[in-house]
A and B are shown apart, each in its own frame.
Chain A
């Protein structure tokens, strides 16, 4: 696989829906491929908005998002799509496509507008499906698989896209606990393969489990980023979510965990 070496930078980003609803206020960040970044924040803080700005789905009011130093809004969308893959929260398809037909759409940025996927692209799609360990779903209908399987299929599609960054909007939402951990495990291995993974999550413990960067968006639109083990502390999280939370080192697990104390 080609070496992934991209960076995604935010410079003085501002975004607001109304004057009272400021989502981003002079937000700065630099993320690189090979990193996992968890975007945390209370409900309504605008985690998804921030992710959408990075995916070029929403426009910032001021400031620039730079992909390898170039303003993302000035790069042709197909070129952006070759570097940034997006895993949406949940899609409800109107038509009954097979998993393979869905995953192969990941090859779109590598194909001309009038062309259609050839055998080599189906091979790439099959490879991505195999990478996710869901070979048995290949010819199944997308509408007849479970939520957890759909999440894996969506990640497979992002892999078929062969980007440097994969953005995931709450990849653990709608999943049972076991599937949540499995998705996090996958994210960890994607990092090992050199992908940059940026995800939003409601669970600070996920950030501790992934042991890499966090970026925390508060209700004032301020983004704090750093290593999860440094930034995520009891007092900080308690203030962020407005409810008592504790971060403790658990020897049996060999890591810091975040949990709520007994009421």
Chain B
């Protein structure tokens, strides 16, 4: 396929596009300025403060963390989604399948009702999100059935349970204040991303991405099937457990700072495969870049299109679902 040859071009294009989008995102918003002004403010900032303090504040406190946050979260969701799809050998899988997001929702809702800082909410979402995945992984172990289908079914059970718990929490939440906070949290937003929250999850993002990229070729092998992998001497259990654990950690750390953001983990890997093929050594870096770019664009639209910020999941769904339909239409011959 000729698309495979252009891998380098695709990567360079995505990096340039992301940088371009970041410059635009930096300059547009309630306070708009031209790139040269922003550039001067950044230079001044590092020289020890310039004359325009308000502008520096907008750039360094609000926009830059938000831009980095959107890119990181988008990249992280797309990478986790791509990895999940390979491990489960199913292109319809998203990182939510083992209950990370529904668990994180319960954690967030719980902390909102109990009351606590945003930091506590993030910790709680992260912890319950991972707890949900742990239960999903434990059920097949208890049933002594290690097939991926059993894992999917187990994820369905946990997802169902967590969703009901979350509904229960919404039901008992204070209608005036808490309920709306929970609902807004579930719609996803990177508005509250600050430098310190970013630094807190950065090690998980970077460490996780490095591990998953290093294992990308092994993911190719296990995506062909269990006996294929085992007769090639691949330690299926180790690779599967490690990749699921790392991808879930990454998703949990993304969701805990941004709330649930749908569609990216499902759609972006498909777009990646369309651009550079299924080989994970190429597809994973490509999906990461595309996920970052996609969420950055979505977030920029979300905060500039109307006077009120549009929650991210609305836009990712409104844009992601038609893209997904288009992708399915393009490969209709291969879907059976």
Query: Interface of A with B (CB < 8 Å)?
Result: 52, 55-57, 76-82, 84-86, 88, 91, 93-98, 101-102, 105-106, 108-109, 111, 113-117, 139, 141, 143, 161
- B1 — which chain A residues lie within 8 A by C-beta? 98, 139, 141
Q: Which residue of A lies closest to B269 (CB)?
A: A95
Q: CB distance A108 to B221 under 8 Å?
A: yes
CB of B156 closer than 8 Å to a CB of A: no
CB of B227 closer than 8 Å to a CB of A: yes
Query: Which of B37-45, B248-256, B275-283 is the contact stretch?
Result: B275-283
CB of B273 closer than 8 Å to a CB of A: yes
Q: CB distance A77 to B334 under 8 Å?
A: no
Report the Cα distance A78→B85, complex, angstroms: 25
Q: CB distance B223 to A94 under 8 Å?
A: yes
Q: CB distance A81 to B91 under 8 Å?
A: no
Please list the 4 inter-chain residue pairs (A to B) with the smallest Cβ-Cβ separation, ordered nearest first: A81-B233, A78-B233, A86-B231, A95-B278
CB of B124 closer than 8 Å to a CB of A: no
- A111 — which chain B residues lie within 8 A by C-beta? 217
CB of B113 closer than 8 Å to a CB of A: no
- B23 — which chain A residues lie within 8 A by C-beta? none
Q: Which residue of A lies closest to B214 (CB)?
A: A114
- B225 — which chain A residues lie within 8 A by C-beta? 88, 91
- B278 — which chain A residues lie within 8 A by C-beta? 95-97, 101
Q: CB distance A108 to B233 under 8 Å?
A: yes
Q: CB distance B230 to A105 under 8 Å?
A: no
Report the Cα distance A55→B221, complex, angstroms: 17
Closest chain-A Cβ to B116's Cβ sits at a distance in Å of: 40
Closest chain-A Cβ to B15's Cβ sits at a distance in Å of: 21
Q: Which residue of B lies closest to A115 (CB)?
A: B217
B233 touches which of A109, A114, A143 (Cβ 8 Å)? A109
Q: CB distance A102 to B224 under 8 Å?
A: yes
CB of B232 closer than 8 Å to a CB of A: yes
The interface on chain B, measured as residues whose beta carbon lies within 8 A of the other chain's beta carbons, has a size of 32
CB of B164 closer than 8 Å to a CB of A: no
Instruction: Give the residue among B227, B235, B273, B277 with the most A Cβ atoms within 10 A.
Output: B227
Mask of B218-229 contacts with A, CB within 8 angstroms, 1/0: 101101110110
- B245 — which chain A residues lie within 8 A by C-beta? none
- A101 — which chain B residues lie within 8 A by C-beta? 220, 277-279
Mask of B304-316 contacts with A, CB within 8 angstroms, 1/0: 0000000000000
Q: CB distance B234 to A117 under 8 Å?
A: no
Report the Cα distance A222→B225, complex, angstroms: 31
Mask of B161-191 contacts with A, CB within 8 angstroms, 1/0: 0000000000000000000000000000000
CB of B89 closer than 8 Å to a CB of A: yes
Q: CB distance B91 to A88 under 8 Å?
A: no
Report the Cα distance A105→B232, complex, angstroms: 8
Closest chain-B Cβ to A112's Cβ sits at a distance in Å of: 10
Instruction: Give the residue among B216, B233, B334 with the most A Cβ atoms within 10 A.
Output: B233
Closest chain-B Cβ to A171's Cβ sits at a distance in Å of: 15
Q: Which residue of A lies closest to B279 (CB)?
A: A101
Closest chain-A Cβ to B326's Cβ sits at a distance in Å of: 17
Report the Cα distance A143→B331, complex, angstroms: 12
B221 touches which of A56, A78, A105 (Cβ 8 Å)? A105
9 contacts between A and B (CB under 8 A): A52-B227, A56-B230, A86-B231, A88-B228, A93-B223, A98-B4, A108-B234, A109-B232, A141-B1
CB of B192 closer than 8 Å to a CB of A: no
Q: CB distance A85 to B231 under 8 Å?
A: yes
Known: A95-B273, A116-B217. A82 touches B233 (CB 8 A): yes
